[in-house]
Amino acid sequence: MKIVRLVFLIHFLKLLAAADESHPNWYLLDHDGCGESVSDKIIGGNVATLGQFPWMAQLGYTRKLFSSSTPRYKCGGSLINPLYVLTAAHCVSGLKGERMVRIRLGEHNTRTRKDCEDAVCAPPVQDFRPDKVISHEKFQQPAMRNDIALIRLDRPAKITPYVGSICMPRGQLMIQNFVGSFMEIAGWGVSKLSGVSNKMSTVLLHVRIPIIDKDKCREIVEDASMGPGQFCAGGDEGFDSCRGDSGGPVMRVEAFGDTPRYYIVGLVSFGPRDCGTDKPAIYTDVTKYRKWILDHIQA
């Protein structure tokens, strides 16, 4: 009887996933050119190679009273089509004394005006203003439920080998249980903690993290009352997301057809105060919000 119920549930979830792909806004996403990396290094290492994650966005903030000052980049995001960046709601909602004023695409090393590697140089970064910010209407703090948001850019991004969109989850990614498998995260977040001085990385970093069972996660993390739109990952000491990585993507490489592509399956949401410990962090499950994303993007 249990096997029959499980087969029925899997069939039902597949029907739901397929229904989203008939959504009228499904065509607004580039399913053929998304998730492509100009780097050969798909998995491994700490420093990302130039062009490895062309969908990575940096979100820049200024104090409300000093809006003309140079933005500080404190959150990440992912380009999902030329007009929209997907990020965490806490990166754009309830900001105390700050405003998000800039979205930067095509960045790699924040210290260099031109990013080059092995005599190959990327075009200059592309900077945008937020035309519209859409946070999930049921976003809740401090539990970080529904921690997801969309930013519409003030103009379309110019797609290049170094600026491109990540793929939206589809097929088996919508129903698969990833517990025990590894995902990849990337960002410019804190790489070293030294006393009270938190130093952000100047170069894009990436790391692989294991997905952890929710029940096990609740035993390790205090107040980890996760909802259906969240999952738990990490717990390998020295390998973690951290402050500054918020809103960035949790990624998985899949090949639907002949070409392996990067798919976004989660967003960095929140974790322990001390990063890189043996305590895992909590992430937003993008597969549970695909319809919400499609409902809120426009041509």
| pLDDT per residue as tens digits for the range 105-149 | 999 999 999 999 989 999 999 999 999 999 999 998 888 899 999
Q: What percentage of residues in the chain have a pLDDT greater than 90?
A: 57
Among 288, 255, 282, residue whose Cα is nearest residue 269 = 282
- Per-residue confidence (pLDDT) for residue 192, from 0 to 100: 47
- Strands 84-87 and 149-153 come out as antiparallel
Neighbours of 175 (CB within 10 A): 16
Residue tagged active-site, from 20, 90, 206, 245? 90
CB contact burial 245-259 (16+ within 10 A = b; e otherwise): bbbbbbbbebeeeee
- Give 264's DSSP letter: E
Work out the angle at residue 165's Cα, subtended by the Cα atoms of residues 74 and 284, and round it to the nearest 5 degrees.
Answer: 55
pTM given for the model: 0.88
Residue 57 has pLDDT above 90, yes or no: yes
Name which of 169, 291, 183, 275 is nearest 231 in CA terms: 183
Identified catalytic residue from 37, 165, 191, 246:
246
Instruction: Determine the Cα–Cα distance for residues 14 and 1; give it in Å rounded to an integer.
Output: 20
Q: Which amino acid is at 250?
A: V
Marked catalytic residue, from 20, 30, 147, 240: 147
Using a 10 angstrom Cβ sphere, with 0-12 exposed, 13-18 middle and 19 or more buried, the burial of residue 24 is exposed
Please give the Cα distance from 171 to 267 (Å, whole number).
Answer: 19
Distance between CA atoms of residues 243 and 68, nearest Å? 24
Tell me if residue 90 is catalytic.
yes
For residue 285, indicate whether it is catalytic: no
Q: In whole angstroms, what is the distance from residue 271 CA to residue 276 CA? A: 10
Q: In this predicted structure, what is the pLDDT of residue 207?
A: 87
Q: Which residue has the higher pLDDT, 79 or 221?
A: 79
Is 206 an annotated catalytic residue? no
Of 149, 186, 170, 205, which Cα lies nearest the Cα of 34?
Answer: 170
**pLDDT at residue 13 tops 80:** no
